Amino acid sequence: MTPAARVAAAIEVLEKTQVSNSPADEVISAYFRSRRYIGSKDRRDISGRIYAIQRAQARLSWWTGSAEPRTNVIAHLALADQLPAPDIEKLYSGEGYGPPGLSAEERALLQKLAGKSLDDPAMADADRLEVPVWLMEQLEKQFGGNIDAELAALNQPASLDLRVNLLKGDCARALELLTQEGIEAEPTNLSPMGLRIKARVNLHTTTAFKGGFVEPQDEASQIAALLCAARADQLTIDYCAGAGGKTLALAASMKDGGPLIACDTDPNRLRRIKPRLKRAGVSNVTVKCTEGDEGRAWLDRYKGLAARVLVDAPCTGSGAWRRNPAAKWSLTTERLDQYLQSQKDILAAAAPLVAPGGRLIYATCSVLPVENETQISAFLDAHPDFKPLPVNQVWADNIGGPCPIVDAGAPYLRLSPASNGTDGFFVGILERGAE
């Protein structure tokens, strides 16, 4: 592809992501799958520019006054790539499958941007830090004086973390398999079963992945599964299993013992679990859709029986902005309210499943206190038979080593990119009183 054609492709994909409810990586993958003629170098260039523009969306819009992909690609070329106006005009000539020529307004914009950079001292904090203005209060509450570093880290590309499947082999065996295929990895800092790959690789073609020795899973998500302290002889329920990432981790912790039940209201998400279970060599999982009368009746049979119930609740995903930077711009106050209500409803529905003396583990990939501490506080007010367990105690019993608690004495776990090198994540462990 010519440089102009790559620019046109970036504009096209950015336009598709604006109108899609799917994450940017899914939109990009679908775009490339339907255009097999695009080579690997071109794919890297196009996807790299798309993500870079999404990570600079607020600053670009501050300069351009627009959220239009074509306009912001022009601005990105001028401000980030520092291309002179004549070079940009060549890219926008309409030749070589490039985008149509520049308008008079776009030429005027290039004159305005000449000699400028992405950042400017006049920018408001929200623009400078690349977050929606209406979220600043929540983010300041979460990060305090470290907000600049934390939001900067949330706006950087994430590494690829792998969870080693201990049912198939240990970390040394997984590292050996990856090394044989020229992939460099290193142990993660917190998870004893985690490996981190910093380079871009096609993991799905490797023996390590196809043989079920590793699964992509951020280190923070691995920690959440470990803190469930699931055991082979105890009933464990993954209440919001989705596509099964934590289900697989729980199955490994339980040494493929059980029973382990993976639940979700969406049968389409649950269908994605079964091939993953087969690849991982897991046989102890029962998959159940809880939607409708049949699903609710099935759950009624398990009231008060589960030693562990994991609620990895639907949330804003603000802790995973490194992986999906466009998500912050599609988030609205109305959508946040929907998540908050859903979290309350799910906690209320999951609580009766916990046996006396059992634990309810609440987790989100969110850095917003309103989705985390606030939700648990409201739950405890309505359920006095539950109490929070100090996470450092559970950490010591099940992971070992120092527990990275940010606030001394805090009963909950909060992880973040700047402080821990992980996605933003929250875990609260609630124990039900013995009858």
Phi-psi bin for 374: left (phi > 0), alpha (psi -120 to 50), beta? Answer: alpha
Of the candidates 143, 93, 37, 176, the residue with the CA atom closest to the CA atom of residue 46: 37
Q: Which of 240, 315, 365, 403 is catalytic?
A: 365
> How many other β-carbons are positioned within 10 Å of the β-carbon of residue 268?
9
Burial, 136: exposed, middle or buried (Cβ in 10 Å; 0-12, 13-18, 19+)? middle
Residues near 82 by beta carbon (within 8 Å), at least 6 away in sequence: 117
Q: How far is residue 104 from each of residues 83, 108, 276, measured CA to CA in Å?
A: 18, 6, 54
Find all residues with CB under 8 Å of 78, minimum gap 6, and list them: 85, 88, 110, 113, 114, 116
Neighbours of 427 (CB within 10 A): 26
Parallel, antiparallel, or unpaired for β 236-238 and 260-264? Answer: parallel
DSSP state of 401: S
Strands of the sheet containing 214-216, edge to edge, are 186-187, 194-197, 160-164, 214-216
Pairing of strands 214-216, 285-289: unpaired
C-alpha span between 188 and 192 (Å, rounded): 7
Q: How far apart are CA 54 and CA 47, in angstroms?
A: 11
Q: What is the DSSP letter of 194?
A: E
240 is an active site residue: no
H/E element, 427: strand 425-432
* Contact of 215 with 165, CB cutoff 8 Å: yes
Closest CA to 240 of 141, 326, 162, 343: 343
**Alpha-carbon torsion (361, 232, 243, 399), positive or negative:** positive
Q: Which residues are part of the catalytic machinery?
A: 365
